[in-house]
């Protein structure tokens, strides 16, 4: 029987819960080693030697719709975990405000006012981001809008705006960075869909179609890019407290809460934590998935 390798024998003392995970993984690898199976490709990239290391150190992220709500929370969470962030928003004020907040966390940030529904603007912005940031490692397609109405009353304008922003916007931004990610043979793409894309919602046929489309897009691009080490996943938030849901009156809110097993609306931080997980080394073997963060609405 082979002896235990020196690198693992010298591992730092285990103190935290994260250390305990590392310890059990080390045990598993030790067992694999003694039965003679080479597990090098299957080892997680969790760094067991430094569990406190920032999860996104030296990464460059682009977050669309970063100016408010969920996008802002993701941009700040990523920055707190060591990423530099390109903040894309419809308005220059909101993009710049969040870029300032990112810089206050000690990271580099760039602000871009871009209408994601306009593919020519996205292409130009993508080129500027690559020129200014140097490269992109993580793309979060989060920008989104609602224009609710019953099918029989919905006009083309409301249909087109929602599809162009929520679905074509993600397509255009993904295209803008795909070539670079493929060259790097690494990258993360996270698309912010919605539970409504999974279960539908009366009065939101345009929005639900855009989010269901985004889920199909996620799975297809995940298959296209997997061989290059790029993961593509979707988040499906339930009802989250942001400007988007602030329009709900008390009665609708109470009705909504009845449909949520955990009994409350989610917070932007709940989605940011899930995005961080999908962007982190811990999720390296997850692609083409939809992670519902919804208090149990869809199960």
Ligand X SMILES: NC(=O)c1ccc[n+]([C@@H]2O[C@H](COP(=O)([O-])OP(=O)(O)OC[C@H]3O[C@@H](n4cnc5c(N)ncnc54)[C@H](OP(=O)(O)O)[C@@H]3O)[C@@H](O)[C@H]2O)c1
Q: Binding residue for ligand X (CB under 6 A) from 99, 116, 125, 198?
A: 116
> Quick one: 163 or 244, whose CB is closer to ligand X?
244
Tell me the per-residue interface mask from 183 to 202 with ligand X, x by CB under 6 A, - otherwise.
---------x-x--------
Q: Binding residue for ligand X (CB under 6 A) from 136, 240, 276, 279?
A: 240
Q: Which stretch binds ligand X (CB under 6 A): 36-44, 182-190, 237-245, 278-286?
A: 237-245
User: Is there a contact between 210 and 234 (Cβ–Cβ < 8 Å)?
Assistant: no
> Quick one: 230 or 235, whose CB is closer to ligand X?
235
Q: Binding residue for ligand X (CB under 6 A) from 22, 62, 111, 114?
A: 114
**Which residues between 64 and 83 bind ligand X (CB under 6 A)?**
64-65, 67-71
User: Is there a contact between 59 and 137 (Cβ–Cβ < 8 Å)?
Assistant: yes
> Quick one: 28 or 92, whose CB is closer to ligand X?
92
Minimum distance of ligand X from residue 160's CB (angstroms) = 12
Q: Binding residue for ligand X (CB under 6 A) from 59, 89, 218, 231?
A: 89
Sheet holding 187-192, edge to edge: 109-113, 84-89, 60-64, 138-141, 187-192, 230-237, 290-293
Minimum distance of ligand X from residue 117's CB (angstroms) = 5
Judged by CB under 6 A, does residue 206 bind ligand X? Answer: no
- CB-count burial class (<10 Å; 0-12, 13-18, 19+) for 182: middle
Q: Which stretch binds ligand X (CB under 6 A): 11-19, 63-71, 181-189, 221-229?
A: 63-71
**Which residues between 3 and 62 bind ligand X (CB under 6 A)?**
none
Q: Binding residue for ligand X (CB under 6 A) from 154, 182, 244, 256?
A: 244
Minimum distance of ligand X from residue 91's CB (angstroms) = 4
3-state secondary structure the chain: CCCCCHHHHCCCCCCCHHHHHHHHHHHHHHHHHHCCCCCHHHCCCCCCCCCCCCCCCCCEEEEECCCCHHHHHHHHHHHHCCCEEEEEECCHHHHHHHHHHHHHCCCCEEEEECCCCCHHHHHHHHHHHHHHHCCCCEEEECCCCCCCECHHHCCHHHHHHHHHHHHHHHHHHHHHHHHHHHHHCCEEEEEECCCHHHHCCCCEHHHHHHHHHHHHHHHHHHHHHHHHCEEEEEEEECCECCHHHHCCCHHHHHHHHHCCCCCCCECHHHHHHHHHHHHCHHHCCCCCCEEEECCCCCC
Answer yes or no: 285 catalytic: no
Q: Binding residue for ligand X (CB under 6 A) from 19, 115, 148, 160?
A: 115
Q: Which stretch binds ligand X (CB under 6 A): 50-58, 78-86, 88-96, 248-256?
A: 88-96
Judged by CB under 6 A, does residue 165 bind ligand X? Answer: yes
The site for ligand X (CB under 6 A) is made up of 64-65, 67-71, 89-91, 94, 114-117, 142-145, 165-166, 192, 194, 237, 239-240, 242-245
For the annotated catalytic residues, the residue numbers are: 207
């Amino acid at each position: 029987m082979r002896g235990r390798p020196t690198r693992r024998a010298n591992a730092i003392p285990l103190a935290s819960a994260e250390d305990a995970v590392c310890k059990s993984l080390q045990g598993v690898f030790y067992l694999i080693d003694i039965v003679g199976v080479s597990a090098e490709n299957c080892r997680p990239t969790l760094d067991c030697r430094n569990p406190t290391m920032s999860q996104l150190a030296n990464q460059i992220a682009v977050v669309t719709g970063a100016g408010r709500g969920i996008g802002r929370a993701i941009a700040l969470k990523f920055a707190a975990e060591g990423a530099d962030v390109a903040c894309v928003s419809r308005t220059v004020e909101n993009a710049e405000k969040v870029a300032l907040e990112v810089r206050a966390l000690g990271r580099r940030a760039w602000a871009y006012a871009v209408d994601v529904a306009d593919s020519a603007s996205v292409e130009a912005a993508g080129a500027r981001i690559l020129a200014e940031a140097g490269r992109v490692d993580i793309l979060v397609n989060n920008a989104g809008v609602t224009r609710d109405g019953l099918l029989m009353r919905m006009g083309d304008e409301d249909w087109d705006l929602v599809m162009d922003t929520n679905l074509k916007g993600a397509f255009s931004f993904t295209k803008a960075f795909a070539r670079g990610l493929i060259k790097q043979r690494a990258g993360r793409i996270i698309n912010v869909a919605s539970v409504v894309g999974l279960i539908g919602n009366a009065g939101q046929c345009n929005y639900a179609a855009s989010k269901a489309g985004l889920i199909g897009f996620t799975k297809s691009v995940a298959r296209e890019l997997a061989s290059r080490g790029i993961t593509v996943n979707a988040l499906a938030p339930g009802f989250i407290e942001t400007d988007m849901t602030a329009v709900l009156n008390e009665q609708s809110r109470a009705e909504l809460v009845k449909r949520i097993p955990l009994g409350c609306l989610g917070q932007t931080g709940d989605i940011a934590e899930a995005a961080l997980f999908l962007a982190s080394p811990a999720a390296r073997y997850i692609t083409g998935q939809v992670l519902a963060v919804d208090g149990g609405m869809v199960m």
